[in-house]
Structure 1
Amino acid sequence: MSVRRLLPGLVALCLGAVLARAVGLAVGVNHLLVAIALGFVLANAVGVPDRLAPGVGTHKLWLGAGIVLMGASLTLETVLEVGGRVLLVLLVVTTSTLLFVEVLSRNVAGLGDRLGSLLAAGASICGVSAVVAVAGAIRAREDQIAYAAATVLLFDAVTLVVYPIVGDLLGLSSTVFGVWAGVSMFSTGPVVAVGFAHSDAAGQWATMTKLARNALIGVVVLAYASYYARGTDGGRLSVRTLWDEFPKFVLGFLVLVALSSLGAFSPAQQASIENAYSWLFLLAFVGLGMEIRLAQLRSTGLAPAAVVLAALIVASTLSLVALTVLF
Structure 2
Amino acid sequence: MSTIKKEWVHEDWAVVILGASIIVISLLGFLLPVPNFNWESLSVLNTDIFNIKNLEILLMQFVLVIAVAILGAFLTGKSIKHLLIVFPVVYLLTILALLLAGNDFVKSINLEAVIFSLSIGLLIGNFFKIPAWFRAALSTELYVKIGLVLLGTSVIFSDILKAGSLGLVQALLVVLSVWYFAFWLCKKLKIDQELTMMISSAVSICGVSAAIATSGAIQGNSKKLSYVISMVLITAIPMMIFMPYLAQYFGLSQEVTGAWLGGSIDTTGAVVASGSLVGEEALKISTIVKFSQNVLLGLAAFAISIYWSFTQTKNNEAGRPEKPTLKIIWDRFPKFVIGFIAASLIFSFLVPTETVSTVKGSLKNLQGLWFALAFTSIGLETNFKDLFAENSKQPFYAFLIAQVFNVVVTLVIAYFLFG
* Cα distance change on mapping 1:322 and 1:288 into 2, 3 Å: farther
Structure 2, unaligned runs of 5 or more: 1-77, 107-111, 202-209, 248-253, 277-282
Do residues 121 (structure 1) and 197 (structure 2) align? yes
The answer as to whether partners of 2:167 and 2:259 remain within 8 angstroms in 1 is: no
Distance in 2 between residues matched to 1:304 and 1:95, nearest whole Å? 20
* Distance (Å, rounded) in 1 between the aligned partners of 2:99 and 2:223: 37
Residue equivalent to 2:83: 6
Residue-by-residue CA offset, 1:187-240 (whole Å, 9 max, x unaligned): xxxx24534554697678646523523531221232344356599451233276
Cα shift readout 1:106-137 (whole Å, capped 9, x = no counterpart): 4x43x27xx2x43432122233653564478x
- 1:163 corresponding residue in structure 2: 239
SS in 2 for 1:311: helix
Cα shift at 1:83: 6.7
Counterparts of 1:269 and 1:9, CA distance in 2: 30
Matched residue SS, 1:56: coil
- Give 1:273's aligned residue: 363
Assess if the C-alpha contact under 8 Å between 1:32 and 1:285 holds in 2.
Answer: yes
> What TM-score, normalized to structure 2?
0.60
2:393 aligns to what? 302
Deviation at 1:282, TM superposition (A): 2.7
Matches within 5 A, 1:43-192: 43-57=125-139, 59-73=140-154, 75-82=156-163, 84-106=165-187, 108-109=188-189, 111=190, 115=192, 117-125=193-201, 126-127=210-211, 130=214, 133-134=217-218, 149=225, 152-170=228-246, 176-181=260-265, 185=266, 191-192=267-268
- For 1:259-270, what aligned pairs fall within 5 Å after superposition? 262-263=352-353, 265=355, 267-270=357-360
Structure 1 residues 263 and 157, CA gap change in structure 2 (3 angstroms): closer
Contact (CA 8 Å) 1:17, 1:283: kept in 2 or not? yes
Matched, 1:24 2:101: yes
More helix by proportion, 1 or 2? 1
1:315 Cα deviation after fit: 1.9
In structure 2, how many angstroms separate the alpha carbons of the residues matched to 1:149 and 1:214?
Answer: 18
Cα distance in structure 1, aligned partners of 2:212 and 2:399: 13
Matches within 5 A, 1:248-267: 248-258=338-348, 262-263=352-353, 265=355, 267=357
Structure 1 residue 99: Cα displacement: 3.3
Q: Does 1:288 align with 2:378?
A: yes
Quick one: structure 1 residues 225 and 63, their matched pair in 2 at CA, closer, same or farther if it must change by over 3 Å?
Answer: closer
Aligned to 1:140: none
Give the aligned partner of residue 142 of structure 1: none
* Structure-2 separation of matches of 1:275 and 1:154: 23
Counterpart CA distance in 2 for 1:150 and 1:26 is 27
Bigger mean CA offset, 169-178 vs 9-18: 169-178
Q: What is the count of residue pairs matched by the alignment?
A: 305
Alpha-carbon separation, structure 1, partners of 2:120 and 2:377: 9
Q: Distance in 1 between matches of 2:321 and 2:166?
A: 42
Q: CA offset at residue 78 of structure 1?
A: 0.5
Aligned counterparts of 1:32 and 1:245: Cα–Cα separation in 2 = 27
Deviations 1:149-189 (A, max 9, x none): 576345224224333223443467666534433xxx4xxxx
Partner of 2:404: 313
The equivalent of 1:220 in structure 2 is 304
Distance 1:156 1:73, change over 3 A: closer
The SS at the match of 1:301 is coil
Larger RCO (alpha carbons 8 Å, 6+ apart)? 1
Shift of 1:15: 0.1
2:368 partner letter = S
For the Cα contact (< 8 Å) 2:263–2:289, is it kept in 1? yes
Of stretches 227-236 and 24-33 in structure 1, the one that deviates more from structure 2 is 227-236
SS in 2 for 1:236: coil
- Which moves more between the two structures, 90-99 or 170-179? 170-179
Deviation track 1:7-27 (CA, whole Å, cap 9, x = no partner) reads 222112210122112222235
The one-letter amino acid of 1:122's match is M
TM-score by length of 1: 0.73
Deviations 1:40-77 (A, max 9, x none): 222222244334324432x3333333344445456432
From 322, 346, 354, the counterpart of 1:234: 322
Tell me, yes or no, if the aligned pair for 1:101 and 1:311 is still in contact at 8 Å.
yes
Q: Distance in 2 between matches of 1:196 and 1:60?
A: 25
Residues in 2 aligned to 1:83 and 1:45: alpha-carbon distance in whole angstroms: 50
Compared with structure 1, are the counterparts of its residues 324 and 170 closer, same or farther at alpha carbon in structure 2 (3 Å cutoff)? farther
Largest Rg, 1 or 2: 2
Residues of 2 paired with 1:35 and 1:150: CA distance?
14
Q: Give the letter for the 2:302 counterpart.
A: G
Alpha carbon RMSD of aligned pairs, Å? 3.8
In 1, Cα distance between the equivalents of 2:80 and 2:288? 32
Question: Could you say which residue in structure 2 is the equivalent of 1:40?
Answer: 122
